[in-house]
Structures are given as structure tokens and as C-alpha cells.
Amino acid sequence: MKLPVAVDAMGGDNAPQDVVLGARQAASELGVAVTLVGQPEAIEAADPGDLEVFAATEIIGMHDEPGAAVRNKKDSSLVRAAELVRDGRASAMVSAGNTGAGMAAALLRMGRIKGVSRPGIATPIPVPGASPTILLDSGANADCQPAWLVQFAQMGSAYCTARFGVAEPKVALLSIGEEDSKGSTLVKETRELLRDAPGVNFVGNVEGRDLMSDAADVVVTDGFTGNVTLKTMEGLFRWLYGALFGVMTNTPERQAAFDVLWPGLEPLIAELDPDSYGGAVLLGVDGICIISHGSSSPFALRNAIKLADDMAAADLVGALAAAVASR
Amino acid sequence: MPAETHETRSPMDRTEVVELIRDRLADILEIDATSISEGQSFVEDLQADSLALIELVEAIEEEVGERTVGFRIDDDDLEDLKTVRDAVDYVCAKLG
């Protein structure tokens, strides 16, 4: 029997309502088996339909300190979801709650894949007309060592193949120029290691502007830089959308022109919408863990649950273990 | 202050505690256990981040707890454990 995806029903800005709705969509529209984990009364009030509910009495909040929360809230929805995966009762977990706690719960309950120094968060960056660029680490490890980035390259390549079917993903290192002489000490030392890293098709350095191009399929960096990059892009897009829509609709004439343009714009905007990709994957833990944005819509959660189910079916963990073992 | 515990097997001596902490730390940080010395600090010398330290604490609690029921490292005490020696001394003191 196919295992369900364990979904942290209490995690997220609009939990449990949006989480339950997304889970119902994943089940009814995509055929994914789901177990909602959380407080039964709250879940019931959000109308879970016939989805299975696994009771957990506590909630880890967005501002709880991750490590302490996982240690002290042992009956929280997040911890219980990770335990369902550890115990073989769920194929994967999804949470839109506290990102750090999600990482901690996955790491402490599932453990790491043998040989992995540090798990990293892999986030897809949309590329119009092509498969997304996978950016990692996008926030798990603020300070990194060169050998960790090599593992991110190996795991990112395996993930890119499993998720997007790219046979030999192009791997690049995020820097401030293509030349060997440019970049931080971490970048220069990592570059030397990546040249000879097994299982990595290293194509050299790329700059931030290359993320939304087909220059690379996987871009590795430390978690601090990755997170700043990601949040900068999010902020820029949010501002750009707002400004453009404002200017294009603020008079009747412009609104009429906009209405003509809209059928052409809509697919592009859908392609750039992070909700289409559901969430980021924590690579390196011994189980599938999808971390979604706190403000995820039901549509985003639906897609995150589908992603979790797909990655479990593709044996992503096995692929990552093999990739890291090839060092 | 000794933990409110009772022992289920022979108590651990200091050498065993050092070995336990060194081995678990080596597993967590993917480094050679023989390269770890008591005088090293977790953060500066071993580059252990907060999650790695929580992993270590949970591993110690699990293993020591198999011998001494109820053994737990208090969260409030964690920030005082800066070096491997601090952790060894703390566990030994808890075991009384």
C-alpha cells in the first residue's frame, strides 16, 4: 500500500485552514494520500473531508527557537510529522511552519544520510522557457566549508535529475565574476574542489544575474548568500508586479490595453509564481522533507504535497546517498 | 547537581563519557574522532553549529539515558557548555 504524505496541519500563517484545503486538493485533484498531523479539533473545524488525521497536541510557532522547540515540544505537529517518516508510516513530510524548526525536526528525527556533513535547502528559481535553476544552500547553513558546497553540488545534481529529468545537470558556483581570481576565500577554495568532484558537471562560476538563465541547472553557495539572494529576488518581484500592475491599470485606457495584454502575460506570471513549485527540499536528511513558505496558498501546499509524493516515489533519498557516496 | 535518576547498568566513568562525546561528535561533524580533544571549543575549533550541538545533546541523553533513567541536559545549561571538556564535566557531575 502506498504511504501517505505527512502534512504539518498547524504550520503556516493561515494554518490549519489553508493547509487542510491544499491537502484536500492534493488528494482529490492529484490522487496523493495525505495524513494531516495536528490538533484534531482545529483540523476538524477546517473541514478535512475524509483525510486521515494523526493527533498532535502542541504547535511550534514561527518565533520559537528551533532546536529548543523540537526538544521541548515533542508532541508538536512538526515533530510528529517527522516521526511518521522516520517510523515508515509516511513517505515524506511537508510543513509551511517555522523553517528552522522544520529543519531541526527532520534532522533530529530522521537523521542525516550517511556521509552528509550538512543538509542544505534546495530552492527552484523559475527560468522562463526552461527548467528552473536549483539554488542551494538557500538558508540552512549561514557559514559553510568548501567540502560542504561540494556535497551540495552532488546532492543538487541528483535532485535536479530526479525532479526535472536533467541527465547531467550543469553545476555552477555563485560568485561575483566568472574569473578564477574573483570571489571570497570560500568561493576560490570551493572552485578548486569542484573541478575534480565526482558526479559533478562543473561549468565554472556564475553571477547572480545568471540565476534566471540556462547558464546552470544547479547553483551552489553558502546558506547566508543563498538566502539573501532568494529574498532579494522575492522582494524585487513583489515590488515589480505591484508597480507594473499599478501603472498598467490606473486609467480606463491603460486598463483596456492591459486587458488585451493579459492573456499573454498570465502564463508568464504563472511560470514565475513560486507557488507553482510548492516549496524547497531539505537535501541530506534521511527522508523527504519539503519546506514551504509560511504564507503558502492552498495551491502552493497542494503542489508541495505532490512534490513530496513524487520525490518519495523517485527514491530521492537513495539517489542522494549514492551521489554523496561517490566522493 | 546530580540528576534524579536511578542506574540500570554500571555507571559511566569519566573515560567512557569522554569516549561517548568524542564518538558522537565525530559522527555528527563527519570528522575523525582522534582529532577531537577536550580543550577544543565546539564553535570556534570544531565549527559545530547550533543544530549540531542539539544533535549531540540528544545523542548523549539517549545513550546515557539507557544506563541512567531520567538523565537530561537542561536547556538553560547549554550555553555554558563551550568546550568538549565542559560537556564531559557537566555529564559527569550530573551522574554524581
B58/A66 CB distance under 8 A: no
Contact (CB, 8 A) for A174 and A225: yes
Contact (CB, 8 A) for A142 and A221: no
CA-based nearest residue to A318, from A282, A279, A286 = A286
Is 80 exceeded by the pLDDT of residue A206? yes
| Total-model pTM | 0.89
| pLDDT score for A269 | 86
Is B76 a residue of the active site? no
Q: pLDDT by residue (tens digit) across A159-180?
A: 999 999 999 999 999 999 988 8
- Give the mean pLDDT of A3-23: 97
Beta-carbon contacts of A59 under 8 Å, excluding residues fewer than 6 positions away, are A10, A11, A38, A39, A73, A76, A77
Contact (CB, 8 A) for A141 and A223: yes
Residues in chain B with CB shorter than 8 Å from the CB of A145 are 47
Residues in chain B with CB shorter than 8 Å from the CB of A117 are 29-30
Where chain B has pLDDT below 50, the residues are 1
Nearest CA in chain B to A100: B51
| pLDDT score for A128 | 85
**How big is the A-B interface in CB pairs under 8 Å?**
30
- Give the mean pLDDT of A86-100: 96
Q: Rounded distance, CA A131 to CA A68, Å?
A: 38
Percent of chain A with pLDDT over 70: 100
Number of H helices, E strands in chain A: 11, 11
Candidates B49, B54, B75; nearest CB to A108: B54
**Which residue among B49, B74, B77, B80 is the active-site one?**
B49
- Give the mean pLDDT of A128-151: 92
Is 90 exceeded by the pLDDT of residue A129? no
A103/B51 CB distance under 8 A: yes
**Shortest CA gap A223–chain B (Å):** 13
B50/A103 CB distance under 8 A: no
| pLDDT score for B1 | 46
